[in-house]
Amino acid sequence: MQTNFTEKQLKNSDNLANEKVFKKCVHCGMCNATCPTYQLLGDELDGPRGRIYLIKDMLENDRKPTEKVVKHIDRCLSCYSCMTTCPAGVNYMHIIDHGKKYIEKNYQRSSFDKLIRYFLSITLPNTKVFRLSSYLVKLSKPFKFLMPSKIKDMIELMPTSFPQKKIPTREIYKSTGNKKIARVALLTGCVQKEISPQINEATIRLLNRHGVEVIVPNKIRCCGSLNHHLGKEEDAHQDFKNNINIWYEEHQKGNLDAILSNTSGCGTTMKDYGFIFRDDKELSKKAKVISDLTKDISEYIYESLKLDIKEKSKKYKVAYHSACSMQHGQKIHSQPISLLEKTKNEILEIPEGHICCGSAGTYNILQSKIAKQLLVKKVKNIESLRPDFISTGNIGCITQISHGTKVPIVHTIEVLDWYTGGPKPQVLLRN
């Protein structure tokens, strides 16, 4: 793709980086074939190729975003399916992130939209605020019919109660295996550790059982993904910098073998820290180290651990849902399936498994109509397999899919923990 940036514009680091990405695009349109929004809406501007043109036009011409442009950019799920499909290796992730950041700085949203986005940006990454908000949501449910659709959707997705945590909160979880073989840091997530603490508990149990010491620094914040994808650069960077410095210090102090994420959306962003801070003199080295150390939990187990699998007498049909941030963002697909196959259950890949379930961070709130259509499609494909339960590696997908089907859904690490000596996941006790 031909570009027309001026020398002055190319002094901007994001413009410079994305000019190289734009030039890789050959206009072939193969990205549209796997883009969920293009498949649903059929509009060129609701596919990656169209959005690339819109963003390129804004950046080259220093053009203020119009309502039409913002509509199409906002509809992007950031599922990155297009990146898996693209034969030219176009890094669409960096283009769409830059586009959203540019819109956030140069477009005046309605007061209501700004309020919703602000609420999400301060609520979801902050566990105390999240719990308080959930309590208020519980009180407001009888009056839901009086509220705008986005508020209704938010209320539907917010929990009204929280599971009891079974493992005490501390910074170091020592290995219980015969010998310590590794030392890792674990990002426990924001919403996840409140609504599904069993995921982190299963992760820690399995790692400890196999000789891995787990570090959970209490000053670690949100990974920054949520605000990053909302275009709120300043808020995201505060979290990025905080976490990078803490993990780097921990690494210098005791040599971390890996920094683990059991939420694939978080892991995708963490692996991009090195790129985000590529020009930062103070953080570039640290950020690259953290990105290089970051691994998804399934990726780490597959590469580094020999699981002590304990077979069960009953065999299950397990539908594996590959989260977009896992298969497209991190290029991890076969590893979780291989691990699940070790349980000797029947592992089923979902038809059209490359298509997003509609969760996509805050997308199911901000673009609920499209998200619901994607959910219906995803559930239909899952239920066609008649599975006993669903396994996936991302809390967002778990939350979204559980609102569309009665088939139980669990995190992959919960299954692996169960088959290596841990308890059977609570939602499967009836199975």
pLDDT in tens, 80-105: 999 999 999 999 999 999 999 999 99
Compute the average pLDDT of residues 250-254: 92
Compute the average pLDDT of residues 261-289: 96
Looking at the predicted structure, is the pLDDT value of residue 155 above 80? Answer: no
CATH class name, domain 310-428: alpha beta
Nearest Cα to 206, choosing from 400, 419, 25?
Answer: 419
List helix spans (H) across 264-408: 264-270, 273-276, 284-293, 297-304, 324, 334-341, 363-366, 368-383, 395-402
Distance CA 160, CA 20 (A): 47
Instruction: Quote the pLDDT of residue 200.
Output: 97
- 172-302 adopts what CATH topology? Glutathione S-transferase Yfyf (Class Pi); Chain A, domain 2 (1.20.1050)
Instruction: Quote the pLDDT of residue 198.
Output: 96
- What's the pLDDT band for 147 if we cut at 50, 70, 90? confident
Looking at the predicted structure, is the pLDDT value of residue 10 above 90? Answer: yes
Q: Over the stretch 157-206, which tens digit does the pLDDT of each residue have?
A: 777 778 888 888 899 999 997 789 999 999 998 889 989 999 999 999 99
Instruction: Quote the pLDDT of residue 153.
Output: 76
Distance CA 50, CA 57 (A): 11
Residue 264 backbone phi and psi in degrees, to 5: -65, -30
Compute the average pLDDT of residues 400-412: 96
Determine the 3-state secondary structure of 161 from DSSP: coil
Instruction: Quote the pLDDT of residue 151.
Output: 81
Domain borders along the chain are 9-106, 111-157, 172-302, 310-428
CATH architecture of 9-106: Orthogonal Bundle (1.10)
Angstrom CA distances, 215 to 171, 208, 260, 264, 394, stand at 6, 11, 10, 19, 21
Whether this model's pTM surpasses 0.85: yes
Distance CA 158, CA 399 (A): 10
Instruction: Quote the pLDDT of residue 207.
Output: 97
Looking at the predicted structure, is the pLDDT value of residue 143 above 90? Answer: no
Instruction: Quote the pLDDT of residue 142.
Output: 77
Compute the average pLDDT of residues 9-21: 94
Q: Over the stretch 337-358, which tens digit does the pLDDT of each residue have?
A: 999 999 999 999 999 999 999 9
Looking at the predicted structure, is the pLDDT value of residue 254 above 90? Answer: no
Segment (H or E) for 390: strand 389-392
Looking at the predicted structure, is the pLDDT value of residue 281 above 80? Answer: yes
Given a contact cutoff of 8 angstroms between Cβ atoms, the answer to whether 242 and 270 are in contact is: no
Angstrom CA distances, 159 to 170, 197, 399, stand at 25, 13, 10
List helix spans (H) across 190-333: 192-195, 197-209, 225-229, 233-254, 264-270, 273-276, 284-293, 297-304, 324
The structure tokens listed for 133 are 């908000």
